[in-house]
Amino acid sequence: MTNADQRPCVAVLASGGGTNLQALIDAAQDPAFPARIGLVLTNMPGAYCLDRAKAAGIPGAVVDHRDYADRPTFEAAVDLTLRDYGAEFVCLAGFMRILTEGFVRAWHDRMLNIHPSLLPKYKGLHTHRRALEAGDDVHGCTVHLVRPELDDGPLILQAEVPVLPGDTEETLQQRVLSREHVIFPQALALVTAGRVEVSGSETRIDGEPGPLRLSWAGE
């Protein structure tokens, strides 16, 4: 089958439900979006992200990390699958595997991650709990280019949300997640349209110092 859609191919890597994946699929359905989602790859057989791919007519692939002796052989299989499908960019959307330096270098400046905090604050897990415990009044999410260190790399786009009185980890997580769904497609559009320039750990977006930051505009 030939693909009439000439936009660059993006592979989305996910391990779970994939609400961010859905936001990317929905955005890329607009022909004016500068890239197409051409593959959903998961390490978890049966993950709901595969159903989302199927419903959108996007190929889904499973590379189960438990079938491989170590991380590099698992990643070699992931990399081969990405290249088989012609992926030019990769989005990590809740992909729960740590990636080695070799894999990250192979996708240098072409792999994006979404993280639920205003990086460089709160790298790693339990970001909402940590923001609540710190008494922060502003929290949010970040899309960045991936580097070998965990949740590190040039920042592209951030969205702020307020921490409200009475917030729990769950209410705050939902407020942040709703903004993740806005900024991930926007950041992917910026990168695939060639509007992000990277120099060391800095970005420029349309010539202006990054990251772009969206402040809270209500629910």
Shortest distance in whole angstroms from residue 161 CB to ligand GRF: 13
Is residue 180 a contact residue for ligand GRF (CB under 6 A)?
yes
Nearest to 176 by CA among 211, 136, 139, 217: 139
Q: How many residues bind ligand GRF (CB under 6 A)?
A: 14
Q: 3-state class of 215 per DSSP?
A: coil
The secondary element (H helix, E strand) that includes residue 182 is helix 169-192
Q: Which helix (H) or strand (E) holds 105?
A: helix 101-106
Do 28 and 10 contact (CB within 8 A), yes or no?
yes
Q: What are φ and ψ of residue 192, in 5° steps?
A: -70, -20
Contact region with ligand GRF (CB under 6 A), list: 11-19, 53-61, 63-71, 211-219: 11-19
94 contributes a contact to ligand GRF by CB under 6 A:
yes
Distance separating alpha carbons of residues 202 and 145, to the nearest angstrom: 10
Closer by beta carbon to ligand GRF, 94 or else 185: 94
**Binding residue (CB under 6 A) for ligand GRF from 9, 10, 11, 19:** 19
Residue 115 annotated among the catalytic residues of the structure: yes
Segment contacting ligand GRF by CB under 6 A, of 24-32, 33-41, 58-66, 114-122: 114-122
Does 20 contact ligand GRF by CB under 6 A? yes
Catalytic residue among 115, 128, 144, 181: 115
Among 8, 17, 148, 162, the residue binding ligand GRF under the rule CB under 6 A is: 17
d(CA 77, CA 205): 33
Q: Are 58 and 133 in contact (CB under 8 A)?
A: no
> Contact residues for ligand GRF (CB under 6 A)?
14, 16-21, 93-94, 114-116, 177, 180
Q: Catalytic positions, please?
A: 115
